Amino acid sequence: MKPTDMDKEGTELTEETEHMIEKNGAKETENVVSAGDTKEMRAVILSGFGGLNKLRVTKKAMPEPQEGEVKIRVKACGLNFLDLMVRQGNIDNPPKTPLVPGFECSGIVEAMGENTKGFEIGDRVMAFVNYNAWAEVVCTPLDYVYNMPDDMTFPEAAAFSMNFVAAYMMLFEVANLREGMSVLVHSAGGGVGQAVAQLCATIPSVTVFGTASSFKHEAIKDSVTHLFDRNADYVQEVKKISPEGVDIVLDCLSGENTGKGLGLLRPLGTYILYGSSNMVTGETKSFFSLAKSWWQVEKVNPIKLYEENKVIAGFSLLNLLFKQGRCGQVKTVVEKLFSLYNQKKIKPVVDSLWALEEVKEAMQRIHDRGNIGKLILDVEKSPTPLMASDSTETSEAGEEEEEHEGDSDNKERMPFIQ
């Protein structure tokens, strides 16, 4: 990489290095050494919106923290369904490419911006990032960084941030979950689904209805009360068990499910749309054609809500954090969640660990709904030789993944390609 390729942050490296050395000695040096070339870092790059072939790992100028920012040596990153939508450009106001995807990570504080306090070099932290998480180093404002519990592993922390914060805020701040209520969650085997199930278990007598692909049922059956196949008519299945319906419907799908979900609500029940995974259906459909049909079919009539005593809500954690400035509220939620973690009431479920170079295979796994719990990019993991190639759109190399070294949570890991 030539100096002209370096971005703005890269040009400030020298000053920053001095700054780091001033503030910290041994600890920092170790990190710097382990990073190899301190001026560059590995990162996943999305070269343009589209299919998996738009992703590659490359060297990139290392960012340095601005005032108010924390520089983190990344250990693990979370991979979300949303990242697939970003890859396809299927989001509102997509940013310009090339970009480094990723919204959450865990790692070690390596430096702080000027006049910036609140963390010590060497702190183990969990962080939200507005893109740029899938790299060896990220810089993000203080408000998005949290000290991790001592017992939490880096993959757990990367699996924790978005899923548990979203699940908590939806259940307790939007929907006001209380004793005796019932919850329907789609994709119960996914990261949010597992977080929802665990958080529901912290409240007495909460009934959880979940939908998931049948092959996941054995693995997740203990986490929910009732489990249905994702292709089953879940409306009928729920009504067989609970004719009155449910108190809370969490919907990461879209389209016809909004009407179905609203129809399943008990009086005073809340339907929450928190994502739209139906939108990623292939490489050819555009966001706008899908969005338009949804808009037309599924708008909600307030008179019906009034007559039926129902609530409909939308929830986007990223918008809340990065567009709407609600960091303080999220921080309070993170503190409550860490307390639940320390009490061993919740524990992130990690599906599998992947090298940065394996990001395409990891994305394919989410796309195929193969995961149980969260997919993690493990920055220090070595890629398998096969994954070094950028050429495959659909990977036939799934069985290779059985060899991954994972943590104890992913013993049940499913074959890579279903």
Give the whole-angstrom CA distance, residue 128 versus residue 158. Answer: 9
Residues in the chain: 418
Give the whole-angstrom CA distance, residue 288 versus residue 397. Answer: 33
User: Is 271 or 338 the residue whose CB approaches a copy of itself more closely?
Assistant: 271
Smallest gap from Cβ 300 to a copy of itself, in A, equals 5
Judged by CB under 8 A, which of 14, 319, 339, 382 binds a copy of itself?
A: 319
Give the whole-angstrom CA distance, residue 414 versus residue 349. Answer: 14
Identity of the residue numbered 167: A
Smallest gap from Cβ 82 to a copy of itself, in A, equals 12
Give the whole-angstrom CA distance, residue 163 versus residue 114. Answer: 32
Give the whole-angstrom CA distance, residue 346 versus residue 333. Answer: 14
Smallest gap from Cβ 251 to a copy of itself, in A, equals 9
User: Is 138 or 280 the residue whose CB approaches a copy of itself more closely?
Assistant: 280
Judged by CB under 8 A, which of 12, 229, 298, 400 binds a copy of itself?
A: 298
Q: Does residue 186 interact with a copy of itself by CB under 8 A?
A: no
Q: Does residue 288 interact with a copy of itself by CB under 8 A?
A: no
Identity of the residue numbered 333: V
Please give the size of the binding site for a copy of itself, defined by CB under 8 A: 40
Name beta bridge partners: 273: 251, 314
Options 14-22, 192-200, 262-270, 338-346: segment touching a copy of itself (CB under 8 A): 262-270
Q: Does residue 181 interact with a copy of itself by CB under 8 A?
A: no
Check the CA dihedral 399-401-407-410 and report its sign: negative
Contact between residue 234 and residue 211 where contact means Cβ atoms under 8 Å apart: yes
- Residue 327 burial by CB count (10 A; 0-12/13-18/19+): exposed, middle or buried? middle
Site string for a copy of itself, 321-340 (x = CB under 8 A): ---x-x--x-----------
User: Is 13 or 235 the residue whose CB approaches a copy of itself more closely?
Assistant: 235
Nearest-Å Rg of the Cα atoms of the chain is 21
User: Is 158 or 170 the residue whose CB approaches a copy of itself more closely?
Assistant: 170
Smallest gap from Cβ 413 to a copy of itself, in A, equals 31
Nearest one of 174, 164, 114, 160 to 139, comparing CA atoms:
114
The residue assigned the tokens 């040009």 is 11
Smallest gap from Cβ 166 to a copy of itself, in A, equals 11
Smallest gap from Cβ 29 to a copy of itself, in A, equals 42
Write the DSSP assignment of 103-152 as a string of letters.
SEEEEEEEEE-TT--S--TT-EEEEE-SS--SBSEEEEEGGGEEEPPTT-
CA angle 90/370/106 to nearest 5° reads 70
Options 317-325, 340-348, 382-390, 407-415: segment touching a copy of itself (CB under 8 A): 317-325
What residues from 29 to 58 belong to the interface with a copy of itself (CB under 8 A)? none
User: Is 188 or 317 the residue whose CB approaches a copy of itself more closely?
Assistant: 317
What residues from 222 to 261 belong to the interface with a copy of itself (CB under 8 A)? 258
Residues that bind a copy of itself (CB under 8 A): 92, 169, 173-174, 176, 258, 267-268, 270, 273-276, 291, 294-295, 298-316, 319-320, 324, 326, 329
